[in-house]
Amino acid sequence: MSEPTAPSVPPTPPVPLSALLAREDLGLRQIAGPPAPDTVIHWAHTSEMADPYPYLLGGELLLTAGVHVPEAAGAGAYFEDYVSRIVAAGGAALGFGLAPVHDTVPRALVAACEAYGLPLLEVPPRTTFSGVARAVWQLMAQARLAELRRVTEAQQSLAAAASRPDPVPSVLRQLAQRLSAHALLYGPDGTVIASAGRAPVPGTQEALRKLTAVVRPDTAREAPASATDALADTQLAAYALGGSSGFVLGVATRGREPADHTIASVAAVLLSLLTGEHQSGAGAARSSALVRLLLGAAPAEVAGLLGDGGRWLVVHARPEHGTPDPVGAAALGAALGSPLIDLGRDVVRVLVPAGREPAAQPGWTLGVGAPAEPDDWPAADAQAARALARARATRAPLVRHGVRPGLTELVPRADAEEYARTLLAPLAAAPALTETLRTWLSLHGSWDRTAVALDVHRNTVRQRVTRCATLLGTDLDDPDVRMELWFALRDR
């Protein structure tokens, strides 16, 4: 059987040997080897084999009662051979159980463990090996839970940092804080764009710069997604961002905890999205469109920068439970095929190319306006809002604004708008009354569904509709009156 050059250990959180020794119920005592704080174990294994090497994976606390020890072992090299094989296999520590075979730990075994630097524990007669193994697994479960909690909290804080007005520096600061690290963002040309965290030890930045070259895309080779190295007691890691973008995240930490790589990988994904958005042609075009709008350009003048043709759909969406958040809004935009997202307090608005027909999304209620040219986007926005209100009232996952030809097309638009202004003039100073009347009519006079759609009490709807009837001086129970008001509200 060939012997491995380096032992491997299982991918589980290690348990400090000192934590096991601190368990008063076990009564373990270290009698040889290096200090316990410097030793970690990955699991416990019991064996009475004279040569346990073939059965060890590395990182174990090996437990034995000495059944395999010959009577004359103290006079020869038996214990030296035994301990050397455990060390060669990567064993982390040795536990020797007292009684029923041995009343004391053989002095030759103590000397061998001291010589080979293997921690030796004395296991009292009252402590079973299964009890020691159970304690190891309990400590491992606690360590795993703490690791998962640490990763979860880091993910939440990094996501929150990514939603700040200065997302890239915020993510770097949060990463550096979570890992007690020095974090740097390198541009495609290798220069440091931003950094955060404690000052690194001398030589760290130069070592990180060299490590970034390993993961930076190269036409001559396929670069790995990440790479690691060490500088004295400083651990270095580099993560390629966005595939071929050329951006690289560099991280320097004192030591390396099991969850560090996971947390750094989350930060790398967020930074990939942030840097990719700003560097892509589409992202630059959207930024240009925004600047031009702020400087006074008309929507029709900048719509071409957004791509995907000239007609667009406005989508209003609300989560079925709670309020929208940045991560959920981004996921919704990705599902609808558009990065043009506006996150409001209660509603997410998405501008979607007309060629991408929105579909219902799990966990969301959607209202979709009619396809519109840029000059008609405000009208499409109002249509989407009304469609969303109707969808919520009818508990439909998605409602589209109706655009089929009707009677309204028989009246010139200018005349219809003038008629609507005149008829609805008594309500002009009360937008809440107008919207309540519109919603109430669209839902066939249902008080309950209107209350749901508007997020108000049923009695509030009654009071508002009664007030509308008074101001308009008309009978809202008359179907002809309702019809005229509905056409007027549509053309308003």
What is the structure's pLDDT at 407?
57
End-of-domain residue from the set 355, 376, 400: 400
**Backbone φ and ψ of 404, nearest 5°:** -75, 150
What is the structure's pLDDT at 491?
57
What is the structure's pLDDT at 343?
85
For residues 51 and 88, state if they share a domain: yes
Domain CATH for 377: 3.30.70
pLDDT at residue 285 is higher than 90: no
Q: Stretch 231-236: mean pLDDT, rounded?
A: 86
Asked whether residue 302 is assigned to any structural domain, the reply reads no
Confidence of residue 37 (pLDDT cuts 50, 70, 90): confident
pLDDT at residue 428 is higher than 80: yes
> In this predicted model, which residue has the larger pLDDT, 363 or 112?
112
Q: Which residue has the tokens 């579909």?
A: 359
- For 86, the token pair is 């455990």
What is the structure's pLDDT at 453?
87
Domain CATH for 132: 3.40.1390.20
Asked whether residue 286 is assigned to any structural domain, the reply reads no
What is the structure's pLDDT at 9?
43
pLDDT at residue 8 is higher than 50: no
Confidence of residue 201 (pLDDT cuts 50, 70, 90): confident
For residues 388 and 415, state if they share a domain: no
Strands 181-186 and 192-197: antiparallel
Confidence of residue 272 (pLDDT cuts 50, 70, 90): confident
What is the structure's pLDDT at 213?
86
Helix, strand and coil in the chain, % to nearest 5: 50, 20, 35
Asked whether residue 173 is assigned to any structural domain, the reply reads yes
End-of-domain residue from the set 364, 380, 400: 400
pLDDT at residue 387 is higher than 60: yes
Q: Tell me how crowded residue 361 is: count the other CB atoms within 10 A of its CB.
A: 17
Asked whether residue 216 is assigned to any structural domain, the reply reads yes
The proportion of the chain whose per-residue pLDDT surpasses 70, expressed as a percent, equals 89
What is the structure's pLDDT at 221?
60
Asked whether residue 328 is assigned to any structural domain, the reply reads yes
What is the structure's pLDDT at 375?
82
Q: Stretch 117-121: mean pLDDT, rounded?
A: 96
Residue 38 amino acid letter:
D
Domain count along the chain: 4
For residues 111 and 50, state if they share a domain: yes
What is the structure's pLDDT at 4?
40
Asked whether residue 339 is assigned to any structural domain, the reply reads yes
For residues 23 and 100, state if they share a domain: yes
pLDDT at residue 113 is higher than 90: yes
Highest mean pLDDT among 45-54, 153-162, 255-264, 271-280: 45-54
Is-contact 464 471, C-beta < 8 A?
no
Range of the domain at 69: 15-139
Domain CATH for 472: 1.10.10.2840
pTM here is 0.49
Confidence of residue 223 (pLDDT cuts 50, 70, 90): confident
What is the structure's pLDDT at 244?
61
Burial class (CB in 10 A: 0-12, 13-18, 19+), 395: exposed
For residues 448 and 382, state if they share a domain: no
For residues 27 and 126, state if they share a domain: yes
pLDDT at residue 308 is higher than 70: no
Q: Which residues pair with 73 in a beta bridge?
A: none
- CB-based contacts of 302, cutoff 8 Å, min separation 6: 288, 289, 292, 293, 374
Confidence of residue 436 (pLDDT cuts 50, 70, 90): very high
Burial class (CB in 10 A: 0-12, 13-18, 19+), 346: exposed
pLDDT at residue 5 is higher than 50: no
Q: Tell me how crowded residue 320 is: count the other CB atoms within 10 A of its CB.
A: 11
Asked whether residue 152 is assigned to any structural domain, the reply reads no
Q: Which of 169-183, 219-233, 298-312 has the lowest mean pLDDT?
A: 298-312
Tell me the HSE value of 395 on the side-chain side, using a 13 A CA sphere.
2
